[in-house]
């Protein structure tokens, strides 16, 4: 079993997917602490209802980004966290977290990186008129939406899709892929070599 610390900023649907997978026995993990960058994030309600300890930070805390991340890292360490999971966390993680959890900070992005980086991956792909987009799960590093890719899954954009229907398709796949990747990590099947390439055994 691995102990997870979750970072979020919004509704927490990916957090809920992890909670559901743990409850179902398909993810051998415990969520030790959920930290939100917004006090009114609904993800905090989901965590509370699941009996998970929570912490909410305010915008004032983030005025000094490095100090904020040092505080977050310390709270995760105190909670016995082994892996940090970004689940709709709308802030970049900085050196204090990355150094405390090397190759153990995981992010999910709603596009096939390196395409359509940034906070609007779904709408950027839709507006670009591409026929295929998808989801990327990767280890975070000091560069935004970069870092070693663990897994990707494609999503076809149909002629009949609207932005709203594409968002629904993307989120549905996220809720499958993220627990699956974390289950691989919990099973000790994911490693990163010296060149930064991810290997999945078995």
Catalytic residues: 109
Sign of CA dihedral 103, 109, 115, 116: negative
Q: What pairing do the DSSP bridges indicate for beta strands 149-156 and 83-86?
A: unpaired
Report in angstroms the alpha-carbon separations of 82 from 32, 77, 117: 9, 8, 27
| H helices present in 9-120, as ranges | 13-24, 42-49, 65-78, 95-100
């Amino acid at each position: 079993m691995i102990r997870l610390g979750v970072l979020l900023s919004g509704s927490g649907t990916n957090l809920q997917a992890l909670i559901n997978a743990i409850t179902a026995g398909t993810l051998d993990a415990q969520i030790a602490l959920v930290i939100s960058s917004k006090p009114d994030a609904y993800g905090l309600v989901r965590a509370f209802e699941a009996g998970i300890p929570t912490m909410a930070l305010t915008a004032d805390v983030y005025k000094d980004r490095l100090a904020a991340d040092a505080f977050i890292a310390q709270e995760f360490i105190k909670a016995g966290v082994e892996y940090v999971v970004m689940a709709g966390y709308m802030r970049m993680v900085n050196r204090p977290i990355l150094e405390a959890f090397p190759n153990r900070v995981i992010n999910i992005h709603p596009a096939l990186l390196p395409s359509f980086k940034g906070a609007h991956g779904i709408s950027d792909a839709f507006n670009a008129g591409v026929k295929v987009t998808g989801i990327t799960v990767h280890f975070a590093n000091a560069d935004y939406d970069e870092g070693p890719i663990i897994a990707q899954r494609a999503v076809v954009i149909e002629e009949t899709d609207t932005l709203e229907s594409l968002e629904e398709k993307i989120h549905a796949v996220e809720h499958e892929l993220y627990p699956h990747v974390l289950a691989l990590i919990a099973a000790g099947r994911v490693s990163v070599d010296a060149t930064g390439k991810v290997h999945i055994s078995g």
